[in-house]
Every structure is written in C-alpha cells, then in structure tokens.
C-alpha cells in the first residue's frame, strides 16, 4: 500500500540520490533542489511516498500563495501545484505513481478553497505528460520557467469530481 508522509532532514541523502538518477534529473534538468532549503521553505509540502513502509518516491505540493520561492510568480489564490517522481527505477510502471498522485490530489482538494492543481512537465517529457493526462490533467499553456520550457497542465476540482478517465 502507498502512503505519504512528511519528508524530514533524515531523508536528504535518499532525496539527493533519487535526484541524481538520470530519468529524474532529465525531468528537471535546471532545478537545483537544495534540499535543506527546500524542506524549510514555507508554502512547500514535501512528502515521501512509501510502499509498505519502504520509501520509493517524492511529492511536493506548492501553495501558490504562500510559496516563498515564487516559482509560479505572484500569489494565485485557489491554486496548488504538484511535482512527483519515483526514485526507485524498478518500481515505475506498476501503478504506484498513479496511487501517489491520487493521494496527493485528494490531499490538495481537502481544502475547499482550492479549485485547481497545476503541474509543469518539461515539454519533451512525453511519458510524464501521458501519465498526468491519464489522471485527468488537461493542457493549459506552454510556459518558460528559467531555462525550462514547460507544458503546464491543470486539474480542476470539477473535473476531479467527475471521476477517472474512461
């Protein structure tokens, strides 16, 4: 069973190792996560995903109002953003990413003020874009974040409430 728990400084060596894994690095080529800083930044919820108690991946939920890094620009009430990866290569493609996202999405929409979740895969990450679309995300716009050209997608509360894609 997949569960999510808050990431702590004790997780930093593992997070750094996952971050260096080639596919994860390719999905985020120009971001330096600086984990101590990341874990201490207000407006970021950093979560480790565990499979039956074994850490396998990471999810970050960004509050677009409170995020001090202002990655997404000015405050946007009602919006959260999600980033995800599975660090353990052999555990991809088995439904764990979907389970992680379903937990994260439900967590986001627990707050009735949240109406939209954003994600920002780089435009060349076709696998991740397919993954997000299977979860109901739809294309919003192409947007430049630093050196990265990203295909921003959104999932609204309304679409989420309609249930999974057929």
**Beta carbon nearer to ligand COA, 112 or 166:** 166
**Beta carbon nearer to ligand COA, 27 or 154:** 27
**Beta carbon nearer to ligand COA, 35 or 131:** 131
Residue nearest to ligand COA (CB): 97
Nearest approach, Cβ of 36 to ligand COA (angstroms)?
A: 22
Nearest approach, Cβ of 84 to ligand COA (angstroms)?
A: 5
SS3 label, residue 22: helix
Give me the sheet containing 148-156, strands edge to edge: 2-6, 44-51, 54-63, 79-86, 116-119, 148-156, 138-145
Query: What are the counts of helices (DSSP H) followed by strands (DSSP E) for the chain?
Result: 6, 7
Q: How far apart are CA 38 and CA 43, in angstroms?
A: 10
Nearest approach, Cβ of 112 to ligand COA (angstroms)?
A: 27
Q: How far apart are CA 78 and CA 70, in angstroms?
A: 15
**Beta carbon nearer to ligand COA, 53 or 112:** 53
Which pair of structure tokens corresponds to residue 43? 């407006």
CB 108 within 8 A of CB 64: no
**Beta carbon nearer to ligand COA, 35 or 85:** 85
Nearest approach, Cβ of 45 to ligand COA (angstroms)?
A: 17
Q: How far apart are CA 162 and CA 165, in angstroms?
A: 9
Name the DSSP class of 164: S
Question: Under the rule (CB under 6 A), what is the footprint of ligand COA?
Answer: 23-24, 27, 84-86, 92-98, 121, 125, 127-128, 130-131, 134
Nearest approach, Cβ of 150 to ligand COA (angstroms)?
A: 8
């Amino acid at each position: 069973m997949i569960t999510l728990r808050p990431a702590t400084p004790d997780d930093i060596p593992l997070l750094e190792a996952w971050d260096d894994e080639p596919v994860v690095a390719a999905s985020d080529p120009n971001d330096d996560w600086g984990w101590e800083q990341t874990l201490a930044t207000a407006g970021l919820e950093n979560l480790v995903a565990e499979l039956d108690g074994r850490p396998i991946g990471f999810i970050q939920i960004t509050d677009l109002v409170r995020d001090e890094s202002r990655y997404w620009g000015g405050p946007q009430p009602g919006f959260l953003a999600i980033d995800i990866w599975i660090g353990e290569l052999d555990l991809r493609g088995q439904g764990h990413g979907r389970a992680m996202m379903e937990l994260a999405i439900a967590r986001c929409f627990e707050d009735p003020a949240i109406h939209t979740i954003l994600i920002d895969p780089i435009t060349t990450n076709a696998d991740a874009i397919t993954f997000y679309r299977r979860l109901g995300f739809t294309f919003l716009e192409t947007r430049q974040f630093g050196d990265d050209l990203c295909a921003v997608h959104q999932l609204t509360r309304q679409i989420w409430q309609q249930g999974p894609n057929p």
